[in-house]
Amino acid sequence: MQIEIERLAFGGAGIAKKDGKVFFVIGGLPKDVLEINIIKDKGSYAEAVIANIIEPSPDRIEPNCPVFKLCGGCQLQNLTYPAQLREKEHILKETMSRIGGMHDASLEPIVSSPKEFGFRNKVTLSAWFYKGQWHLGYNQKGSTRKVPIESCPISEEIVDKTITKISDVLSSLGDPHFPLDKIHISSNGVKSQITLVPVHNRKGDTLKTLHRHLKRHEETENVSIAGIGETGFEFSILGNKFITTPSAFTQVNSSINELMINTVLEWAELNENTTVLDLYSGIGNFSIPLARASKEVLGVEISKNSVKLANKNAELNSVKNIVFQNASSEDAITILNDQEEKFDLVVLDPPREGAKEIIDGLVKLDTEKIIYVSCDPATLARDLKKLDVLGYKVVKIRPFDMFPQTFHIESITMLSK
Protein backbone atom coordinates (compact mmCIF):
# COMPACT_ATOMS: atom_id res chain seq x y z
CA MET A 1 0.00 0.00 0.00
CA GLN A 2 1.28 3.49 -0.86
CA ILE A 3 0.66 6.43 1.47
CA GLU A 4 2.04 9.91 2.24
CA ILE A 5 2.86 10.88 5.80
CA GLU A 6 1.09 14.04 6.95
CA ARG A 7 2.59 14.66 10.40
CA LEU A 8 4.11 12.99 13.45
CA ALA A 9 2.27 11.49 16.40
CA PHE A 10 3.46 11.73 19.99
CA GLY A 11 5.71 8.68 20.18
CA GLY A 12 7.44 9.42 16.88
CA ALA A 13 5.33 7.45 14.39
CA GLY A 14 4.28 9.08 11.12
CA ILE A 15 0.54 9.61 10.58
CA ALA A 16 -1.14 9.02 7.21
CA LYS A 17 -4.81 8.77 6.18
CA LYS A 18 -6.22 6.75 3.32
CA ASP A 19 -9.72 5.50 2.50
CA GLY A 20 -11.04 6.74 5.83
CA LYS A 21 -8.41 4.91 7.83
CA VAL A 22 -5.52 6.28 9.93
CA PHE A 23 -2.09 4.65 9.65
CA PHE A 24 0.66 5.00 12.25
CA VAL A 25 3.89 4.25 10.42
CA ILE A 26 7.00 3.52 12.47
CA GLY A 27 9.86 5.60 11.07
CA GLY A 28 7.64 7.61 8.74
CA LEU A 29 8.39 11.34 8.44
CA PRO A 30 6.17 14.20 7.24
CA LYS A 31 5.97 14.32 3.41
CA ASP A 32 7.50 10.85 3.02
CA VAL A 33 5.82 8.87 0.22
CA LEU A 34 6.02 5.26 1.33
CA GLU A 35 5.15 1.71 0.54
CA ILE A 36 4.06 0.18 3.84
CA ASN A 37 3.36 -3.19 5.42
CA ILE A 38 0.59 -3.35 8.01
CA ILE A 39 1.62 -5.16 11.21
CA LYS A 40 -1.50 -4.52 13.34
CA ASP A 41 -4.98 -3.75 12.01
CA LYS A 42 -7.27 -2.23 14.65
CA GLY A 43 -10.21 -1.47 12.39
CA SER A 44 -10.38 2.32 12.30
CA TYR A 45 -6.59 2.55 12.41
CA ALA A 46 -3.55 0.40 11.73
CA GLU A 47 0.10 0.22 12.69
CA ALA A 48 2.60 -0.22 9.89
CA VAL A 49 6.27 -0.34 9.00
CA ILE A 50 8.08 1.03 5.97
CA ALA A 51 8.52 -1.46 3.13
CA ASN A 52 10.03 1.06 0.73
CA ILE A 53 10.69 4.81 0.65
CA ILE A 54 9.30 5.90 -2.71
CA GLU A 55 9.95 9.61 -2.20
CA PRO A 56 11.78 10.77 0.95
CA SER A 57 10.69 13.79 2.93
CA PRO A 58 12.71 16.96 2.17
CA ASP A 59 13.40 17.01 5.92
CA ARG A 60 14.76 13.45 6.04
CA ILE A 61 18.50 13.27 6.87
CA GLU A 62 21.07 10.64 7.77
CA PRO A 63 21.04 9.93 11.53
CA ASN A 64 24.11 10.77 13.57
CA CYS A 65 24.18 7.50 15.53
CA PRO A 66 25.23 4.11 14.10
CA VAL A 67 22.58 2.25 16.14
CA PHE A 68 19.74 4.72 15.56
CA LYS A 69 17.56 2.20 13.72
CA LEU A 70 17.80 -0.23 16.65
CA CYS A 71 18.15 1.87 19.80
CA GLY A 72 15.01 3.06 21.56
CA GLY A 73 16.65 6.17 23.00
CA CYS A 74 16.05 8.45 20.00
CA GLN A 75 13.26 8.52 17.45
CA LEU A 76 13.94 11.64 15.35
CA GLN A 77 17.64 11.70 14.47
CA ASN A 78 16.64 11.25 10.82
CA LEU A 79 14.60 14.50 10.85
CA THR A 80 16.12 17.98 10.56
CA TYR A 81 16.07 19.93 13.81
CA PRO A 82 13.77 22.75 12.59
CA ALA A 83 11.31 20.06 11.44
CA GLN A 84 11.51 18.37 14.86
CA LEU A 85 10.56 21.65 16.54
CA ARG A 86 7.72 22.24 14.07
CA GLU A 87 6.27 18.78 14.67
CA LYS A 88 6.51 19.06 18.46
CA GLU A 89 4.62 22.35 18.39
CA HIS A 90 1.94 20.72 16.27
CA ILE A 91 1.72 17.65 18.55
CA LEU A 92 1.27 19.80 21.65
CA LYS A 93 -1.36 22.00 19.99
CA GLU A 94 -3.27 19.01 18.61
CA THR A 95 -3.17 17.24 21.99
CA MET A 96 -4.48 20.31 23.80
CA SER A 97 -7.37 20.44 21.34
CA ARG A 98 -8.19 16.72 21.09
CA ILE A 99 -7.84 15.74 24.76
CA GLY A 100 -8.12 19.06 26.58
CA GLY A 101 -10.83 20.64 24.45
CA MET A 102 -8.68 23.79 24.20
CA HIS A 103 -9.03 24.70 20.55
CA ASP A 104 -7.62 28.20 20.99
CA ALA A 105 -5.03 27.61 23.72
CA SER A 106 -2.42 30.36 23.94
CA LEU A 107 0.52 28.24 22.82
CA GLU A 108 3.84 30.04 22.47
CA PRO A 109 6.59 28.97 20.02
CA ILE A 110 8.73 26.11 21.31
CA VAL A 111 12.02 27.07 22.98
CA SER A 112 14.76 25.24 21.11
CA SER A 113 17.69 23.53 22.79
CA PRO A 114 21.03 25.37 22.43
CA LYS A 115 22.52 21.94 21.69
CA GLU A 116 20.94 19.49 19.25
CA PHE A 117 23.45 16.81 20.29
CA GLY A 118 25.72 16.45 23.32
CA PHE A 119 23.09 17.81 25.72
CA ARG A 120 22.39 14.92 28.13
CA ASN A 121 24.19 15.38 31.45
CA LYS A 122 23.11 11.95 32.74
CA VAL A 123 22.27 8.49 31.40
CA THR A 124 21.29 5.10 32.81
CA LEU A 125 22.67 2.12 30.94
CA SER A 126 21.91 -1.59 31.22
CA ALA A 127 24.77 -4.08 31.55
CA TRP A 128 24.61 -7.70 30.40
CA PHE A 129 26.85 -10.65 29.51
CA TYR A 130 26.45 -12.14 26.02
CA LYS A 131 28.67 -14.39 23.89
CA GLY A 132 31.57 -14.31 26.31
CA GLN A 133 31.63 -10.54 26.83
CA TRP A 134 30.02 -7.80 28.91
CA HIS A 135 28.05 -5.13 27.08
CA LEU A 136 26.62 -1.71 27.94
CA GLY A 137 23.61 -0.15 26.24
CA TYR A 138 19.91 0.66 25.91
CA ASN A 139 16.74 -1.22 25.02
CA GLN A 140 15.77 -1.75 21.40
CA LYS A 141 12.82 0.21 20.04
CA GLY A 142 9.61 -1.32 21.34
CA SER A 143 11.42 -4.21 23.01
CA THR A 144 13.25 -5.28 26.16
CA ARG A 145 16.08 -6.66 24.01
CA LYS A 146 19.32 -4.74 24.39
CA VAL A 147 21.41 -2.69 21.98
CA PRO A 148 25.12 -2.51 22.90
CA ILE A 149 26.79 0.89 22.56
CA GLU A 150 30.27 2.29 23.02
CA SER A 151 29.22 5.95 22.80
CA CYS A 152 26.06 8.09 22.72
CA PRO A 153 25.97 11.27 20.57
CA ILE A 154 23.17 12.96 22.54
CA SER A 155 25.26 12.75 25.74
CA GLU A 156 27.60 15.48 26.93
CA GLU A 157 31.20 14.93 25.89
CA ILE A 158 32.26 14.00 29.43
CA VAL A 159 29.45 11.44 29.75
CA ASP A 160 30.20 10.05 26.29
CA LYS A 161 33.88 9.54 27.09
CA THR A 162 32.87 7.81 30.32
CA ILE A 163 30.56 5.44 28.44
CA THR A 164 33.45 4.49 26.14
CA LYS A 165 35.85 3.93 29.02
CA ILE A 166 33.37 1.81 31.03
CA SER A 167 32.64 -0.24 27.91
CA ASP A 168 36.37 -0.88 27.47
CA VAL A 169 36.78 -1.92 31.12
CA LEU A 170 33.73 -4.21 31.07
CA SER A 171 34.87 -5.94 27.89
CA SER A 172 38.02 -7.03 29.74
CA LEU A 173 36.00 -8.86 32.41
CA GLY A 174 35.17 -12.45 31.55
CA ASP A 175 33.04 -13.44 34.54
CA PRO A 176 29.41 -14.02 33.39
CA HIS A 177 28.24 -14.17 37.01
CA PHE A 178 29.37 -10.63 37.81
CA PRO A 179 26.30 -9.12 39.60
CA LEU A 180 26.06 -5.90 37.58
CA ASP A 181 22.62 -4.70 36.42
CA LYS A 182 22.78 -0.99 35.54
CA ILE A 183 25.15 1.96 35.58
CA HIS A 184 24.14 5.58 36.28
CA ILE A 185 26.44 8.23 34.81
CA SER A 186 26.07 11.94 35.59
CA SER A 187 28.18 15.00 34.82
CA ASN A 188 28.61 18.34 36.57
CA GLY A 189 30.25 19.79 33.48
CA VAL A 190 33.77 19.04 34.73
CA LYS A 191 33.82 15.35 35.66
CA SER A 192 31.47 12.41 35.52
CA GLN A 193 30.07 10.59 38.53
CA ILE A 194 29.25 6.87 38.30
CA THR A 195 26.99 4.63 40.37
CA LEU A 196 27.11 0.86 39.86
CA VAL A 197 23.79 -0.90 40.49
CA PRO A 198 23.95 -4.58 41.48
CA VAL A 199 21.48 -7.19 40.31
CA HIS A 200 18.33 -7.25 42.43
CA ASN A 201 18.87 -8.80 45.89
CA ARG A 202 22.63 -9.06 45.42
CA LYS A 203 24.93 -7.29 47.85
CA GLY A 204 26.65 -4.21 46.50
CA ASP A 205 30.02 -5.19 47.96
CA THR A 206 30.23 -7.91 45.28
CA LEU A 207 30.91 -5.09 42.78
CA LYS A 208 34.04 -3.89 44.54
CA THR A 209 36.27 -5.57 41.93
CA LEU A 210 34.70 -3.52 39.14
CA HIS A 211 34.79 -0.48 41.41
CA ARG A 212 38.58 -0.86 41.75
CA HIS A 213 39.02 -1.40 37.99
CA LEU A 214 37.12 1.77 37.11
CA LYS A 215 38.80 4.01 39.70
CA ARG A 216 42.13 3.48 37.97
CA HIS A 217 41.04 5.66 35.05
CA GLU A 218 40.70 9.44 35.12
CA GLU A 219 37.40 9.34 33.23
CA THR A 220 35.86 6.88 35.69
CA GLU A 221 37.53 7.60 39.02
CA ASN A 222 34.40 8.99 40.73
CA VAL A 223 32.65 5.66 41.33
CA SER A 224 30.26 4.46 44.02
CA ILE A 225 28.01 1.44 44.49
CA ALA A 226 24.25 1.68 45.06
CA GLY A 227 23.24 0.35 48.45
CA ILE A 228 26.57 0.88 50.20
CA GLY A 229 26.89 4.66 50.04
CA GLU A 230 26.24 6.48 46.78
CA THR A 231 28.57 9.46 46.46
CA GLY A 232 27.08 12.91 45.85
CA PHE A 233 28.52 15.61 43.65
CA GLU A 234 28.01 19.35 43.26
CA PHE A 235 26.79 21.30 40.23
CA SER A 236 25.47 24.80 39.60
CA ILE A 237 22.20 26.17 38.18
CA LEU A 238 21.80 29.93 37.69
CA GLY A 239 24.27 30.67 40.45
CA ASN A 240 22.67 28.22 42.89
CA LYS A 241 24.69 25.25 44.12
CA PHE A 242 23.16 21.78 44.18
CA ILE A 243 24.28 18.41 45.48
CA THR A 244 22.81 15.31 43.87
CA THR A 245 23.65 11.70 43.10
CA PRO A 246 23.60 9.88 39.74
CA SER A 247 20.48 7.89 40.70
CA ALA A 248 18.43 10.92 41.86
CA PHE A 249 16.08 12.64 39.42
CA THR A 250 17.45 15.81 37.85
CA GLN A 251 16.73 17.49 34.52
CA VAL A 252 19.05 16.09 31.83
CA ASN A 253 19.42 19.21 29.66
CA SER A 254 21.12 21.87 31.80
CA SER A 255 20.61 24.76 29.35
CA ILE A 256 16.88 24.11 28.92
CA ASN A 257 16.47 23.57 32.66
CA GLU A 258 17.84 27.06 33.31
CA LEU A 259 15.48 28.55 30.72
CA MET A 260 12.56 26.75 32.37
CA ILE A 261 13.50 28.02 35.84
CA ASN A 262 13.70 31.55 34.47
CA THR A 263 10.23 31.14 32.93
CA VAL A 264 8.76 29.95 36.24
CA LEU A 265 10.35 32.92 38.05
CA GLU A 266 9.13 35.35 35.36
CA TRP A 267 5.55 34.07 35.46
CA ALA A 268 5.48 33.77 39.26
CA GLU A 269 5.88 37.54 39.74
CA LEU A 270 7.20 37.04 43.25
CA ASN A 271 7.61 39.60 46.00
CA GLU A 272 8.61 39.56 49.67
CA ASN A 273 5.06 38.60 50.71
CA THR A 274 4.52 35.69 48.28
CA THR A 275 3.96 32.23 49.74
CA VAL A 276 4.68 29.26 47.45
CA LEU A 277 3.80 25.57 47.46
CA ASP A 278 6.14 23.49 45.26
CA LEU A 279 4.74 20.01 44.62
CA TYR A 280 6.93 17.15 43.35
CA SER A 281 9.84 19.38 44.39
CA GLY A 282 12.70 16.89 43.90
CA ILE A 283 16.07 18.17 45.06
CA GLY A 284 14.87 21.80 45.01
CA ASN A 285 15.30 22.62 41.32
CA PHE A 286 12.49 25.20 41.39
CA SER A 287 12.07 25.57 45.17
CA ILE A 288 15.41 27.20 45.91
CA PRO A 289 15.26 29.85 43.13
CA LEU A 290 11.63 30.57 44.14
CA ALA A 291 12.59 30.95 47.80
CA ARG A 292 15.19 33.61 47.01
CA ALA A 293 12.47 36.01 45.81
CA SER A 294 9.51 35.11 48.03
CA LYS A 295 8.40 35.07 51.66
CA GLU A 296 8.42 31.31 52.11
CA VAL A 297 8.30 28.05 50.16
CA LEU A 298 6.98 24.63 51.13
CA GLY A 299 8.42 21.84 48.98
CA VAL A 300 6.68 18.45 48.89
CA GLU A 301 8.50 15.37 47.59
CA ILE A 302 7.78 11.64 48.00
CA SER A 303 11.41 10.48 47.64
CA LYS A 304 13.25 10.44 50.97
CA ASN A 305 16.60 10.64 49.21
CA SER A 306 15.53 13.70 47.21
CA VAL A 307 14.24 15.45 50.34
CA LYS A 308 17.55 14.72 52.07
CA LEU A 309 19.41 16.25 49.13
CA ALA A 310 16.99 19.21 48.95
CA ASN A 311 17.64 20.08 52.59
CA LYS A 312 21.39 19.94 51.94
CA ASN A 313 20.91 22.22 48.94
CA ALA A 314 18.92 24.78 50.93
CA GLU A 315 21.69 24.81 53.54
CA LEU A 316 24.38 25.00 50.86
CA ASN A 317 22.74 28.12 49.41
CA SER A 318 21.95 29.67 52.83
CA VAL A 319 18.24 29.67 51.97
CA LYS A 320 16.34 29.64 55.26
CA ASN A 321 12.76 30.42 54.17
CA ILE A 322 12.06 26.97 52.79
CA VAL A 323 10.79 23.70 54.26
CA PHE A 324 10.85 20.33 52.49
CA GLN A 325 8.23 17.77 53.47
CA ASN A 326 8.65 14.06 52.70
CA ALA A 327 5.16 13.03 51.56
CA SER A 328 3.10 12.29 48.49
CA SER A 329 1.58 15.42 46.97
CA GLU A 330 -1.88 13.90 47.43
CA ASP A 331 -1.39 13.34 51.16
CA ALA A 332 0.26 16.73 51.65
CA ILE A 333 -2.60 18.61 49.96
CA THR A 334 -5.17 16.75 52.07
CA ILE A 335 -3.39 17.83 55.26
CA LEU A 336 -2.89 21.41 54.04
CA ASN A 337 -6.61 21.70 53.24
CA ASP A 338 -7.56 20.23 56.62
CA GLN A 339 -5.37 22.87 58.26
CA GLU A 340 -6.83 25.57 55.97
CA GLU A 341 -3.38 26.58 54.73
CA LYS A 342 -3.27 29.09 51.87
CA PHE A 343 -0.63 29.90 49.25
CA ASP A 344 -0.30 32.69 46.69
CA LEU A 345 1.26 30.36 44.13
CA VAL A 346 1.38 26.61 43.52
CA VAL A 347 4.11 25.15 41.28
CA LEU A 348 3.89 21.49 40.31
CA ASP A 349 6.22 19.30 38.26
CA PRO A 350 4.64 15.81 38.28
CA PRO A 351 5.95 12.66 36.57
CA ARG A 352 4.58 11.53 33.20
CA GLU A 353 1.43 10.19 34.86
CA GLY A 354 0.43 13.80 35.56
CA ALA A 355 -1.43 15.22 38.55
CA LYS A 356 -4.85 13.60 38.22
CA GLU A 357 -4.94 12.43 41.85
CA ILE A 358 -4.37 15.90 43.30
CA ILE A 359 -6.53 18.15 41.09
CA ASP A 360 -9.55 18.29 43.44
CA GLY A 361 -7.37 19.04 46.45
CA LEU A 362 -5.33 21.54 44.47
CA VAL A 363 -8.47 23.48 43.54
CA LYS A 364 -9.63 23.41 47.17
CA LEU A 365 -6.42 25.22 48.18
CA ASP A 366 -7.97 28.18 46.33
CA THR A 367 -4.67 29.71 45.18
CA GLU A 368 -4.80 32.54 42.65
CA LYS A 369 -2.12 31.19 40.32
CA ILE A 370 -0.86 27.74 39.31
CA ILE A 371 2.28 27.00 37.27
CA TYR A 372 2.23 23.46 35.88
CA VAL A 373 5.51 21.99 34.55
CA SER A 374 4.79 18.96 32.35
CA CYS A 375 6.74 16.28 30.49
CA ASP A 376 3.71 14.62 28.86
CA PRO A 377 1.22 16.47 26.59
CA ALA A 378 -1.60 13.93 27.02
CA THR A 379 -1.70 13.94 30.83
CA LEU A 380 -1.22 17.71 30.83
CA ALA A 381 -4.21 18.19 28.50
CA ARG A 382 -6.32 15.87 30.67
CA ASP A 383 -5.42 17.79 33.85
CA LEU A 384 -5.90 21.23 32.28
CA LYS A 385 -9.37 20.20 31.08
CA LYS A 386 -10.40 19.32 34.62
CA LEU A 387 -8.83 22.46 36.06
CA ASP A 388 -10.76 24.51 33.50
CA VAL A 389 -14.05 22.93 34.59
CA LEU A 390 -13.17 23.69 38.22
CA GLY A 391 -12.45 27.36 37.57
CA TYR A 392 -8.82 27.72 36.48
CA LYS A 393 -8.16 29.11 33.02
CA VAL A 394 -5.02 28.62 30.96
CA VAL A 395 -3.23 31.93 30.47
CA LYS A 396 -0.34 30.64 28.34
CA ILE A 397 1.69 27.55 27.52
CA ARG A 398 5.39 27.61 26.66
CA PRO A 399 6.90 24.38 25.25
CA PHE A 400 10.60 23.53 25.62
CA ASP A 401 12.73 21.06 23.69
CA MET A 402 14.36 19.35 26.65
CA PHE A 403 15.04 16.21 24.57
CA PRO A 404 16.20 16.90 20.98
CA GLN A 405 16.20 13.86 18.66
CA THR A 406 13.28 12.34 20.61
CA PHE A 407 9.49 12.76 20.57
CA HIS A 408 9.38 14.06 24.16
CA ILE A 409 7.98 17.53 24.86
CA GLU A 410 8.43 19.56 28.04
CA SER A 411 6.15 22.53 28.72
CA ILE A 412 5.15 25.11 31.32
CA THR A 413 1.55 26.28 31.68
CA MET A 414 0.31 29.23 33.71
CA LEU A 415 -3.24 29.09 35.03
CA SER A 416 -5.22 31.79 36.78
CA LYS A 417 -8.32 31.47 38.92
For the annotated catalytic residues, the residue numbers are: 375
Contact 240, 310 (CB under 8 A): no
Contact 37, 51 (CB under 8 A): yes
What is the distance between the alpha carbons of residues 12 and 22, in angstroms, rounded to a whole number? 15
Relative to beta strand 180-187, strand 146-148 is unpaired
Contact 233, 215 (CB under 8 A): no
What is the distance between the alpha carbons of residues 250 and 170, in angstroms, rounded to a whole number? 27
241 phi and psi angles, rounded to 5 deg: -95, 140
| Single-letter amino acid, residue 284 | G
DSSP 150-209: S--TTB-HHHHHHHHHHHHHHHT---TT--EEEEEEEE-SS-EEEEEEEPTTS-GGGGHH
Contact 287, 323 (CB under 8 A): no
